[in-house]
Amino acid sequence: MSFGEPFFDRLILHLDGTHAGPMNMAVDQAWLEHSTIPVLRIYTWDQPTVTLGYAQSLPKLQDALPGWPVVRRWTGGGVVLHQEDYTYSVIVPSADPWSETTALESYRRIHGSLAEALSQNGHPGCRLALQEDVIEAPFCFVAPAVHDVIRGPVKVAGAGQRRGKLGLLHQGSVQQVILKPEFWTQWATRLAKEVLTVETAPEPVLARATELERRRYALPEWLADRDDHLPRI
């Protein structure tokens, strides 16, 4: 099956800069809260960083982690080591009907499109992992899940998702390959019929991200127990 048909009518391609872990997580959530059209955000890290899945236990994993800063994601999935990877997020607000795509199907479609883009840009042989490729382990890139992107025995792309009344947040990482800078623009044009490229998020997104960084993602309580200082609804 080809995944070449665009998913979206319009898409914002946010070629973001470099941030610390808490701000990177905060910007994704802020986009989900404020955007009315899908966003593909590309970003980097100010230093090697570990992200944990929303439901993972830090005490159980602590001894196996490198001595890097650690931040907890709002999405699920396993431990990801961000050092030489390429990090992206697909953010689909609830206003877009595509946000109602089921969890498994959205994962399959996003990664299917990514695998095709990788195969056509210097990395032939990328495909979606099948059930027989699955490995159970807490570290994401040694443990392919169904519909992750693999190339031979090597996992090259995985992600975590969060779904709710705000829409869909898909936070992904691409590893074990070298990508040219233009790759993300090329993939964006596969995802949407019309692409608007920005390097700076709108002021409401930035303001909300600053608040989320301070009141959620930078807190020791969030890292330890998913507790934050945000108002309860």
> Catalytic pick from 13, 118, 140, 168?
140
What b/e sequence results for 150-188 when a residue is b if at least 16 CB atoms lie within 10 Å of its CB, and e otherwise?
A: bbeeebbbbbbbbbeebbbbbbbbbbebebeeebbeebb
CA distances from 169 to 87, 107, 153 (A): 13, 11, 27
**Separation between Cα atoms, residue 31 and residue 172, nearest integer Å:** 15
The closest alpha carbon to 51, from 28, 19, 14, 24, belongs to: 24
Active site residue 126: no
Contact call for residues 158 and 77 (beta carbons, < 8 A): yes
- Gyration radius of the chain's alpha carbons: 17
Q: Among 229, 103, 110, which Cα is nearest to 174's?
A: 110
Residue count (the chain): 233
Active site residues: 140
